[in-house]
């Protein structure tokens, strides 16, 4: 028996949206391992080259292209004091880059603006800032973890944690011997341990609303500009004294902005 009805054809699948494709890229990449090392300060970081190497083939496979457009550039003079109170300056480059993510199949686009900054000298400033903008577009836009849990003790640099422990032990020993636990810890009385990066410092009260901040030599050196912005160096020691108000501002910049730790040691009878 014949029929005049046309044969049924399978329904064509709907094309994927740009966001669906980007979600596929996010799932495919997973997470990144930190392979870069800052040799001066000793900490590891995710390199821009690693981020691009992981993302590029997944984006290309789905016909997704990313266009940069620098929409503003500013160069500002930055002044800092070193530990010898000498004023030094450099030039900071701050840029805003508008990134357009386009689906090569549908033409659908998404735009976002990501800042970039650098203190690289001469004509490198803009290009280093662009690299930073690109890196964080990909890392933050695709929520790429770098294999670290920021709450884990494993991420706390060994030298910094040991330095804080050494100062604390020195204070405890002073209390056992009947000495003033609020007295400054002399640099020679604290065994400094190797540092792997600017992670942790300690502070303790010395009276009249003043505090002293100290820690591993390399951590102090890496953050000397910030330390001397809010405090003053005590003699030739790796100790910086701050008023309570300045300490609060320093703590905000050092901990909340830069992601480090500042441990407060209390007086014996506090």
Instruction: Set out the domains of the chain in order of their start, with CATH numbers.
Output: 18-141 (3.30.390), 153-264 (no CATH)
Hey, which residues does 199 pair with through a beta bridge? Answer: none
Question: Does the structure show a pLDDT above 90 at 92?
Answer: no
Alpha helices in 62-97, H assignment, sequence order: none
Note the pLDDT of residue 231. 87
1-5, 96-100, 133-137, 182-186: the lowest-pLDDT one: 182-186
Q: How far apart are CA 64 and CA 131, in angstroms?
A: 19
Work out the angle between the directed axes of helices 18-29 and 48-61 (0-180°, nearest 10).
130
pLDDT tens-digit readout, 198-210:
458 888 888 888 8
Stronger pLDDT, 209 or 113, i.e. the higher one: 113
Question: Does the structure show a pLDDT above 80 at 128?
Answer: yes
Q: Specify the pairing of strand 232-233 against strand 210-214.
A: unpaired
Question: Does the structure show a pLDDT above 70 at 6?
Answer: no
Stronger pLDDT, 264 or 176, i.e. the higher one: 264
């Amino acid at each position: 028996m014949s029929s005049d009805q046309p044969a049924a054809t399978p329904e064509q699948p709907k094309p994927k949206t740009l966001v669906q494709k980007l979600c596929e890229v996010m799932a495919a990449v997973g997470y990144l391992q930190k392979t870069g090392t800052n040799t001066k300060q000793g900490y590891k970081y995710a390199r821009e080259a690693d981020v691009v190497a992981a993302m590029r083939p997944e984006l290309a496979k789905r016909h997704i292209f990313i266009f940069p457009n620098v929409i503003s550039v500013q160069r500002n003079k930055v002044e800092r004091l070193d530990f010898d109170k000498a004023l030094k300056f450099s030039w900071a480059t701050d840029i805003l880059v508008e990134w357009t993510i386009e689906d090569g199949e549908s033409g659908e686009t998404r735009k976002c603006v990501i800042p970039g900054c650098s203190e690289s000298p001469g004509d490198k400033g803009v290009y280093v800032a662009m690299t930073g903008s690109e890196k964080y577009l990909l890392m933050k836009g695709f929520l790429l973890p770098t294999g670290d849990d920021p709450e884990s003790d494993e991420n706390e640099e060994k030298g910094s944690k040991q330095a804080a422990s050494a100062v604390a032990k020195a204070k405890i020993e002073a209390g056992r011997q009947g000495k003033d636990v609020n007295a400054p810890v002399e640099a020679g009385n604290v065994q400094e341990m190797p540092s792997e990066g600017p992670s942790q410092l300690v502070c303790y009260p010395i009276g009249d609303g003043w505090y002293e901040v100290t820690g591993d030599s390399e951590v102090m050196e890496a953050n000397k500009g910030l330390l001397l912005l809010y405090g003053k160096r005590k003699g030739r020691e790796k100790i910086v004294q701050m008023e309570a108000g300045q300490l609060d501002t320093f703590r905000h910049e050092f901990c909340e902005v830069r992601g480090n730790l500042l441990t407060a040691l209390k007086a014996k009878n506090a």
